[in-house]
Amino acid sequence: MVMNVLIIGSGAREHAICKSIEKSSIKNKIFCYASNYNPGIAKICHNISIGNINDKKNVLEYALENNIEIAIIGPENPLEVGITDLLDLNNILVVGPKKNLAKLETSKIFTRNLLIKYNINGCPKYKAFNKINGLEEYLKELGNEFVVKYDGLAGGKGVKVSGEHLKSHDETLEYCKNIINKNGEFIIEEKLYGEEFSLMSFSDGKKLKHMPIVQDHKRAYEGDLGPNTGGMGSYSCENHTLPFLSESDVIEAKKINNQILIALKNEFNDFYKGILYGGFILTKNGIKVIEYNARFGDPEVMNVLQILKSDFLEICLAICNQNLEDVEVEFENLATVCKYAVPNGYPDKPVKGEKIEISQLQDKKNLYFGSLDQINDELIEAGSRTVAYVGVGKSLSEAEKLAEKSISSIQGPLFHRKDIGTQELILKKVNKIKSLKL
Ligand code: AMP
Ligand code: GLY
């Protein structure tokens, strides 16, 4: 018997998911419902259908036509529209929570309130607003150290940080009024200082199995400078933790993910089946929650799946059938460094439609295609993060060297961050945490 597996989405994250499914010992055929034609995914898949991945009916139709047994949802928008709910009603297994459970990512107010309601550590001081009442007073209370978060999916553009994006209370009030005028809601919360990290866990709704901790780099330029992006690259260490985290920090982050799972079950009387992604920051006052995502992080997924020893499809089935407890989830004790090459001008004014050349890259095994089209056998930049390469090694420096050499060999109007995973940048992060704790 061959199992038909549907992947929803078509970026580098979904390419990584496809590669891992392809390796499974369970015989399978991969189908992809995609927003664009990813040449990496196309090479692996039995069939790709291009369409609107947020259109529930079309996705269902495609799944039924192809006798899909299990679907894996890559991005957040299909979760928000409830594609899981519809596929589930039609007896298709889904890795990805139902619409109400996905509020963990789709509503920042929901998640902040959940932390408070269930007495979970790590919630910064915050207040939710849908009116102007009390706003000025709260800003005064926080002074110049605040963050405004739009309550909804905003493609990574929903967070405005004081001093960076918002220079004064007047500018902030103006920004908030705009949200209110569009009937939107938002959070104002205290600004946190420290180092961010991601802890992703497989979840069958009853049990979590944690993945190695990864650190992403959101800023576009070297030295963690410049505009925020979807993530320019990420690293993980051979011991599955990060150089600036203590053992108790790791225990605390895992505990928070576990408590979130229980809180969700209590809140909705339903099971969260999918990937639980905790976005944390280590501050001088310990670990705080920045956000939750209801899916794999991109680029973090490439670090973890690259070193997953166990059978990914078997894990996906265990997530859906709620027997994660009985399934092996093991990762190699290897370090990984993932670097993205992005179009010149990214993220504000990326070039588009330009050709890139990968022929100089000798070993393409760990190459992931992102925002890229294939036209007449040429690879053409589509405007967002283009290709990623994951270096794997016994140490971070070995992994970094491999990633750097490989991503540098890709030619075209692209750039990448040379500093991700280097000893120099890691040391800076370690020292930053040391000085915060003084
Ligand atoms: P989010 O969309 O919630 O992940 O936020 C995007 C980015 O904004 C995070 O990765 C942080 O760098 C920054 N951010 C979010 N919340 C805070 C906060 N309370 N203090 C400082 N930076 C924050
Ligand atoms: N790397 C951050 C995210 O996927 O949201």
- List CB contacts of 424: < 8 A, sequence separation 6 or more: none
Q: Ramachandran region of residue 357, left (φ > 0), alpha (ψ -120 to 50) or beta?
A: beta
Mean pLDDT in residue range 123-129: 97
Residue 313's SS3 state is helix
Mean pLDDT in residue range 118-143: 96
Q: How confident is the model at residue 73 (pLDDT cuts 50, 70, 90)?
A: very high
Q: Where in the chain is the domain with CATH 3.30.470.20?
A: 195-427
Of the candidates 32, 28, 22, 20, the residue with the CA atom closest to the CA atom of residue 75: 32
- List CB contacts of 138: < 8 A, sequence separation 6 or more: 127, 129, 188
Pocket test for ligand 1, best of 104, 157, 283, 290 (most atoms within 8 A of CB): 290
User: Is the C-beta atom of 147 inside 6 A of ligand 1?
Assistant: yes
Cα separations in angstroms, 234 against 157, 162, 226, 296, 339: 20, 25, 17, 13, 7
Q: What's the 141 CA to ligand 2 centre distance in angstroms?
A: 31
Identify the sign of the CA torsion 117, 202, 101, 228.
positive
Is the pLDDT at 225 greater than 80, yes or no?
yes
**Residue 404: predicted pLDDT:** 98
| Nearest ligand to the CA atom of 158 | 1
| Nearest ligand to the CA atom of 149 | 1
Identify the sign of the CA torsion 254, 260, 261, 262.
positive
Q: How confident is the model at residue 406 (pLDDT cuts 50, 70, 90)?
A: very high
Is the pLDDT at 390 greater than 90, yes or no?
yes
Q: Ramachandran region of residue 83, left (φ > 0), alpha (ψ -120 to 50) or beta?
A: alpha
User: Which amino acid is residue 146, in one-letter code?
Assistant: F
Closest ligand 1 atom number to CA of residue 158: 2
pLDDT in tens, 172-193: 999 999 999 999 999 999 999 9
**Residue 158: predicted pLDDT:** 84
* DSSP calls for 278-295: EEEEEETTEEEEEEEESS
pLDDT in tens, 42-70: 999 999 999 999 999 999 999 999 999 99
H/E element, 40: helix 39-44
Is the pLDDT at 156 greater than 80, yes or no?
no
Mean pLDDT in residue range 239-244: 98
Pocket test for ligand 1, best of 125, 127, 148, 161 (most atoms within 8 A of CB): 161
For the record, the structure tokens of 436 come out as: 């915060």
Question: What angle, rounded to 10 degrees, do the helices at 108-117 and 247-268 form?
Answer: 100
Tell me the Cα Rg of the chain: 21
CATH topology of domain 3-94: Rossmann fold (3.40.50)
Across the beta sheet with 126-129, the strand order is 126-129, 186-190, 146-150, 159-161
Q: What's the 230 CA to ligand 2 centre distance in angstroms?
A: 6
For the record, the structure tokens of 371 come out as: 């925002």
According to CATH, what is the number of the domain 195-427? 3.30.470.20
Q: How confident is the model at residue 334 (pLDDT cuts 50, 70, 90)?
A: very high
* DSSP calls for 229-296: -S-SEEEE-TTSS-TT--HHHHHHHHHHHHHHHHHHHHHHSS---EEEEEEEEEETTEEEEEEEESS-
User: Is the C-beta atom of 161 inside 6 A of ligand 1?
Assistant: yes
Q: How confident is the model at residue 126 (pLDDT cuts 50, 70, 90)?
A: very high
Q: Where in the chain is the domain with CATH 3.40.50.20?
A: 3-94
Of the candidates 36, 35, 28, 37, the residue with the CA atom closest to the CA atom of residue 6: 28
Of the candidates 328, 318, 194, 308, the residue with the CA atom closest to the CA atom of residue 240: 308
Residue 139's SS3 state is helix
**Residue 155: predicted pLDDT:** 78
pLDDT in tens, 262-288: 999 999 999 999 999 999 999 999 999
**Residue 32: predicted pLDDT:** 98
- The residues lining ligand 2, judged by C-beta closer than 6 Å to any ligand atom, are 216, 231, 293, 297-298, 300
User: Is the C-beta atom of 83 inside 6 A of ligand 1?
Assistant: no
* DSSP calls for 95-110: ES--TTTTHHHH-HHH
% of the chain surpassing 90 pLDDT = 95
Is the pLDDT at 414 greater than 90, yes or no?
yes
In terms of DSSP bridges, do strands 274-283 and 286-293 run parallel, antiparallel, or are they unpaired?
antiparallel
**Residue 55: predicted pLDDT:** 98
| Nearest ligand to the CA atom of 292 | 1
pLDDT in tens, 306-317: 999 999 999 999
Number of H helices, E strands in the chain: 14, 24
Task: Classify residue 155 by burial, with Cβ atoms within 10 Å: 0-12, 13-18, 19+.
Answer: exposed
pLDDT in tens, 339-358: 999 999 999 999 999 999 99
Mean of the per-residue pLDDT values for the chain?
96
Q: How confident is the model at residue 425 (pLDDT cuts 50, 70, 90)?
A: very high
